[in-house]
Amino acid sequence: MKWLRHLYLPRYLDVENSKVQWDNLSNLEMLKHFDGEQWVVQDLVHLTKLRKLKITNVNSFIELEVILKPSSLISNDLHSLRLHLVKTKMEEVDLRLVLMCQYLYMLFLGGEISNLPGRHHFPPKLTLRDSHLKQYPMPILERLLINLTILDLWSDFYTGEEMVFSKKGFPPLKYLPLFHTFSLQRLMVDKSAMPSLKSLMLGMCISLEMVPEGLRCITTLQKLRIDYMPREFVDKLQVINGKEGEDFYKVQLMPCIDLTITCPP
């Protein structure tokens, strides 16, 4: 076990008092499904070569500080960090701690967020899930995600009814999945927004009224995927019995478009 590089733990491990000699895994570079309720996060300080880390059931950011603070050898080399099922609301000070990992390339935050930090830059790949942001996030995201290539927004990351991708915002963004955001009604894309976008997925945004008009201006867009949306929304994008839906013109002329439409049963 001493020379083990990658360790994938069982996602659900129901074993009382299970023990792992973490100090014997000092060469570990990837660790997935570390359960914060099963083991003590502080034990990870021995894994000084970690590059990829996924923790589920994060009880508090206080316990994460020992591995994420700048003086930690782990934080200096960590490339990918996934925090699933964070039990307490994440405050700005918590996120600033995470963003001090200077070589972080991928960040997954699964849990409620109070506010996004206004100064620290996020890594190129960012997933926000179950964030329930009440503060309108787009101005901060556009300003701080200057190197972002993937923005993955899931499960009511924002509780508002409207989102606008403004002019010249997110210049390097290539992939944008927007899924399971029930309150979102209006999605707008200004001209010159997301000029590098290749793929957009809209799924289970059941209140969304229409595909944004501005998609017609994104010449790099190769794939638009519509998953599990209301029938009325889907019909607007199709030709039915020879009649074009009212939003069909928005997708008709997209170059190399791969349109996948899946309706709920």
pLDDT (tens digit per residue) in 147-184: 899 999 999 999 999 999 999 999 999 999 999 999 99
d(CA 3, CA 19): 19
Which tens digits make up the pLDDT trace of 180-211? 999 999 999 999 999 999 999 999 999 999 99
- Is pLDDT at 120 greater than 80 in this prediction? no
Coil, helix or strand for 251?
Answer: helix
Mean pLDDT of all residues in 118-127: 86
pTM of the model: 0.91
d(CA 126, CA 137): 14
Torsion of CA 93, 77, 148, 234, to 10 degrees: -90
Beginning with the edge strand found earlier in the chain, give each strand of the sheet holding 6-8 in spatial order. 6-8, 30-35, 52-58, 80-86, 106-110, 125-129, 150-154, 175-179, 199-203, 223-227, 258-262
Helix (H) or strand (E) run with residue 128 in it? strand 125-129
Place 255 in a pLDDT band, splitting at 50, 70 and 90: low
